[in-house]
């Protein structure tokens, strides 16, 4: 290397060479992008301009057995923010006072639902029309907001229906892992309770997809050529076995008490006619986004409005259980219809303990059916002793206790059937006494049943021992008009012979019609009625009142079970409650019989 100058022609060659190298590098770069990375870049280009929008289908409507709407959909506005178009410090700040959410909450919702910065992220469902009018009028104050037509689930049935309808809510981030990602997204509406949850996939229908071509700003140009829109398929409508008249009455009669539950079933097919749990909650307030304050107020309520007492309330069955004790006694030939025990003088001495009868005057000497009539504890104590804990336990299980009934509602409790194995594990071997059999024989102690299980058992008693699986949905109608009927199915048979069943039914008749019956007040001239009172001992307060009734007794069409918490004796409180419901049912039947056909033309609002 020296200081020798390049000749002009050297400079020319060098300059030309440099240009050639530059152009070569450019061409290599172009070939790399346009040939080798062409497919990747094309895909990126497509995804740039393609916006996939879900089309939410109409959720299935629920009708009662007479075609009255229970749950439908109401048009509404959903307010969204397009994050890329939002002006920080302006949009949210101006929006907050109009829609009544604070800025922090809006931000929180936005973060939850945002998919991309260019897609509208819903921040509030069901914004009142007046608010939308304000937003429209002062649109300049709210850059980046948009609103879409949407539907809000509307629960139109009388209060108490939420016990079976349940409600829908937005899928939260802790639930997202438990559902099919093909069907649900964060923020999708999903059934949270009741039928809405049980039949969610049928009710929700099939989501459609719109393929849109968009500008970089997110503004929609139009449909995306080459990708036709996939239409949404509406959810199936359902016809429920519930009779809203009975349902409404069931809630009304509980209104004067603290808490309770009523369930009415047609024993001939297992159709649920009414199902209410009191107090309930406002399903409309719960559908969509549940505010923090609503949630705390409901969960902190000592009456537990969210607890569905029919399915999850666990109570000792009290005297309603005595039908099992007597049934088991007859089946096991421990007694026959003329057997008697030591007479009742208001109690029974067992070892060192004196077990009282509920009537301290005593009942004297009774046969089995009359022991049911008078609900005599002393008779049952002695029968229980003769049968033993495990025989009683076995019969309980065979009568459907200790396991879910299989009703088409989610989250049903199993209850508890105590037996030797249970007591051994609970107290230790030989650390408990046979006296527990006495308690079990009158339905107290550790036995726990749900009102639904009890109603199911009485359905068996009413229906010649054949128990149909309790269910609410009778038929589903697909959007194409196709109707799918859900046929009643036999769940199990009671472990009682015809003669035993006849004896038990006679006992139920005597409870209402006998001279010493505990539910004599239900006796009437119009129709025959049978049933059994019960009082569940409650160590935490006043006893719970039970009554399970059925009518017409010759061939029962309705079995109605009621529990009224902390209300005292079944005969005084629960029996009249059930009596009213059965009365309405029978009046409807005898007066104007208007039971709807399956798939009857629905009434549109």
* Closest distance of CB 217 from another protein, Å: 6
Phi, psi of 196 (to 5 degrees): -55, -35
Indicate left, alpha or beta for 501 from its phi (over 0: left) and psi (-120 to 50: alpha).
alpha
| 8-16, 131-139, 230-238, 446-454 -> range binding another protein (CB under 8 A) | 8-16
| 40-48, 145-153, 174-182, 257-265 -> range binding another protein (CB under 8 A) | 40-48
Closest CA to 288 of 219, 210, 188: 188
State the Cα–Cα distance between residues 562 and 548, nearest whole angstrom. 6
State the Cα–Cα distance between residues 267 and 472, nearest whole angstrom. 13
> Which CB, 5 or 480, lies closer to another protein?
5
| 42-50, 98-106, 492-500, 517-525 -> range binding another protein (CB under 8 A) | 42-50
38 binds another protein (CB under 8 A): yes
Contacts of 168 (CB under 8 A, 6+ apart): 59, 153, 189, 190, 191, 192, 196, 287, 288
User: Which one of residues 42, 296, 297, 349 is an interface residue with another protein (CB under 8 A)?
Assistant: 42
222 binds another protein (CB under 8 A): no
Residues in region 45-74 near another protein by CB under 8 A: 45-46, 48-49
14 binds another protein (CB under 8 A): yes
* Closest distance of CB 210 from another protein, Å: 17
Cα separations (Å) of 310 from 42, 176, 274, 407?
59, 29, 11, 11
- Dihedral sign for Cα 580, 583, 585, 587, please: negative
User: Which one of residues 29, 97, 128, 411 is an interface residue with another protein (CB under 8 A)?
Assistant: 29
> Which CB, 27 or 526, lies closer to another protein?
27
State the Cα–Cα distance between residues 361 and 516, nearest whole angstrom. 13
Question: How many other C-beta atoms are found inside a 10 Å radius of the C-beta of residue 56?
Answer: 17
88 binds another protein (CB under 8 A): no
Tell me, by CB under 8 A, how many residues bind another protein.
42
Cα separations (Å) of 3 from 6, 13, 104, 547?
9, 19, 72, 117
Name the burial class of residue 67, with classes exposed (0-12), middle (13-18) and buried (19+) by CB atoms within 10 angstroms of its CB.
middle
Question: How many other C-beta atoms are found inside a 10 Å radius of the C-beta of residue 525?
Answer: 5
User: Which one of residues 19, 133, 590, 598 is an interface residue with another protein (CB under 8 A)?
Assistant: 19
| 23-31, 175-183, 191-199, 556-564 -> range binding another protein (CB under 8 A) | 23-31
* Closest distance of CB 85 from another protein, Å: 13
The DSSP secondary-structure symbol of 83 reads: G
31 binds another protein (CB under 8 A): yes
| 43-51, 237-245, 293-301, 383-391 -> range binding another protein (CB under 8 A) | 43-51
> Which CB, 8 or 149, lies closer to another protein?
8
User: Which one of residues 44, 133, 490, 603 is an interface residue with another protein (CB under 8 A)?
Assistant: 44
> What is the SS3 assignment for 356?
strand
* Closest distance of CB 211 from another protein, Å: 14
User: Which one of residues 16, 133, 183, 490 is an interface residue with another protein (CB under 8 A)?
Assistant: 16
Question: How many other C-beta atoms are found inside a 10 Å radius of the C-beta of residue 568?
Answer: 14
Name the burial class of residue 200, with classes exposed (0-12), middle (13-18) and buried (19+) by CB atoms within 10 angstroms of its CB.
buried
> Which CB, 145 or 214, lies closer to another protein?
214
**Looking at beta carbons, which pairs linking 108-117 to residues 24 or more positions away fall under 8 Å?**
109/289, 110/81, 110/83, 112/173, 112/186, 112/187, 113/186, 113/187, 114/83, 117/82, 117/83, 117/84
* Closest distance of CB 54 from another protein, Å: 22
35 binds another protein (CB under 8 A): yes
* Closest distance of CB 43 from another protein, Å: 8
* Closest distance of CB 60 from another protein, Å: 38
* Closest distance of CB 11 from another protein, Å: 6
> Which CB, 47 or 485, lies closer to another protein?
47
* Closest distance of CB 220 from another protein, Å: 11
Question: How many other C-beta atoms are found inside a 10 Å radius of the C-beta of residue 600?
Answer: 14
8 binds another protein (CB under 8 A): yes
DSSP string, 50-61: EEEEEEPPPPPP
> Which CB, 1 or 149, lies closer to another protein?
1
300 binds another protein (CB under 8 A): no
41 binds another protein (CB under 8 A): yes
State the Cα–Cα distance between residues 164 and 570, nearest whole angstrom. 25
40 binds another protein (CB under 8 A): yes
* Closest distance of CB 83 from another protein, Å: 11
DSSP string, 199-245: THHHHH-B-EEEEEEE-TTS-EEEEPTTS--B--BPPPEEEES--HH
Tell me, letter by letter, the H, E, C secondary structure of 334-354: CCCCCCCCCCECCEEEECCEE
297 binds another protein (CB under 8 A): no
| 36-44, 93-101, 567-575, 583-591 -> range binding another protein (CB under 8 A) | 36-44
> Which CB, 30 or 183, lies closer to another protein?
30
5 binds another protein (CB under 8 A): yes
Closest CA to 485 of 475, 497, 494: 475
> Which CB, 50 or 290, lies closer to another protein?
50
> What is the SS3 assignment for 77?
strand
489 binds another protein (CB under 8 A): no
User: Which one of residues 111, 215, 336, 542 is an interface residue with another protein (CB under 8 A)?
Assistant: 215
Residues in region 112-151 near another protein by CB under 8 A: 117
* Closest distance of CB 221 from another protein, Å: 7
User: Which one of residues 88, 130, 149, 216 is an interface residue with another protein (CB under 8 A)?
Assistant: 216
**Looking at beta carbons, which pairs linking 44-50 to residues 24 or more positions away fall under 8 Å?**
48/216, 49/213, 49/214, 49/224, 50/211, 50/212, 50/213, 50/214, 50/224, 50/227
| 22-30, 58-66, 278-286, 367-375 -> range binding another protein (CB under 8 A) | 22-30
Indicate left, alpha or beta for 2 from its phi (over 0: left) and psi (-120 to 50: alpha).
beta
Contacting positions for another protein (CB under 8 A) = 1, 3-6, 8-9, 11-12, 14-16, 19-20, 22-23, 25-27, 29-31, 33-35, 37-38, 40-42, 44-46, 48-49, 117, 213-217, 221
């Amino acid at each position: 290397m020296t200081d020798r100058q390049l000749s002009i022609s050297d400079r020319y060659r060098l300059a030309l060479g440099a240009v050639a190298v530059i152009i070569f590098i450019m061409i290599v770069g172009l070939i790399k992008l346009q040939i080798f990375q062409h497919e990747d870049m094309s895909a990126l280009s497509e995804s740039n301009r393609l916006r996939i929008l879900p089309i939410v289908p109409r959720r299935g409507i629920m009708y009662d057995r007479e075609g009255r709407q229970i749950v439908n959909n109401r048009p509404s506005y959903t307010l969204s923010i397009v994050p890329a178009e939002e002006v920080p410090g302006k949009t949210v700040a101006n929006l907050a006072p109009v829609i009544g959410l604070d800025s922090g909450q809006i931000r929180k919702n936005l973060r939850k639902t945002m998919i991309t910065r260019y897609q509208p992220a819903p921040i509030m469902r069901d914004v009142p029309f007046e608010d939308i009018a304000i937003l429209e009028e002062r649109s300049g104050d709210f850059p980046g907001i948009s609103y879409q037509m949407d539907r809000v689930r509307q629960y139109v049935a009388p209060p108490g229906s939420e016990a079976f309808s349940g409600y829908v809510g937005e899928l939260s981030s802790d639930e997202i892992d438990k559902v099919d990602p093909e069907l649900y997204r964060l923020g999708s509406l999903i059934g949270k309770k009741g039928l809405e949850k049980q039949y969610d996939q049928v009710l929700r229908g099939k989501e459609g997809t719109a393929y849109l071509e968009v500008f970089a700003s997110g503004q929609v140009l139009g449909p995306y050529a080459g990708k036709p829109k996939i239409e949404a398929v509406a959810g199936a409508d359902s016809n429920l076995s519930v009779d809203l008249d009975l349902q409404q009455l069931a809630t009304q009669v509980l209104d004067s008490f603290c808490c309770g539950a009523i369930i009415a079933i047609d024993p001939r097919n297992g159709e649920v006619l009414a199902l209410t749990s009191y107090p309930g909650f406002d399903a409309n307030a719960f559908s969509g986004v549940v505010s923090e304050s609503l949630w705390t107020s409901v969960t902190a309520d000592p009456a537990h409005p969210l607890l569905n007492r029919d399915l999850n309330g666990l109570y000792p069955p009290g005297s309603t259980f005595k039908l099992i004790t007597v049934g088991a006694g007859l089946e096991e030939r421990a007694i026959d219809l003329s057997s008697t025990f030591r007479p009742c003088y208001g109690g029974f001495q067992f070892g060192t303990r004196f077990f009282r009868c509920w009537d301290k005057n005593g009942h004297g000497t009774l046969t089995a059916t009359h022991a049911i009539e008078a609900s005599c504890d002393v008779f049952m104590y002695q029968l229980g002793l003769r049968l033993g804990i495990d025989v009683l336990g076995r019969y309980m299980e065979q009568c459907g206790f200790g396991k879910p009934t299989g009703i088409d509602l989610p989250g049903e409790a199993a209850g508890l059937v105590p037996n030797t194995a249970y007591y051994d594990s609970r107290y230790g071997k030989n650390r408990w006494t046979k006296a527990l059999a006495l308690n079990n024989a009158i339905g107290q102690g550790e036995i726990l049943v749900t009102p639904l299980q009890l109603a199911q058992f009485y359905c068996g008693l009413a229906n010649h021992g054949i128990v149909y699986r309790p269910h609410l949905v009778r038929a589903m109608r697909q959007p194409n008009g196709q109707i799918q009927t859900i046929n009643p199915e036999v769940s199990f048979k009671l472990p009682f012979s015809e003669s035993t069943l006849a004896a038990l039914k006679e006992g139920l008749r005597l409870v209402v019609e006998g001279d010493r019956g505990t539910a004599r007040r239900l006796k009437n001239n119009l129709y025959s009625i049978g049933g059994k009172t019960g009082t569940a001992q409650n160590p935490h307060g006043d006893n719970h009142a039970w009554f399970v009734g059925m009518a017409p007794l010759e061939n029962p069409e309705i079995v109605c079970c009621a529990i009224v918490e902390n209300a005292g004796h079944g005969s005084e409180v629960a029996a009249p409650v059930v009596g009213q419901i059965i009365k309405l049912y029978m009046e409807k039947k005898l007066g104007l019989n208007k039971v709807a056909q399956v798939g009857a033309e629905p009434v549109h609002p």
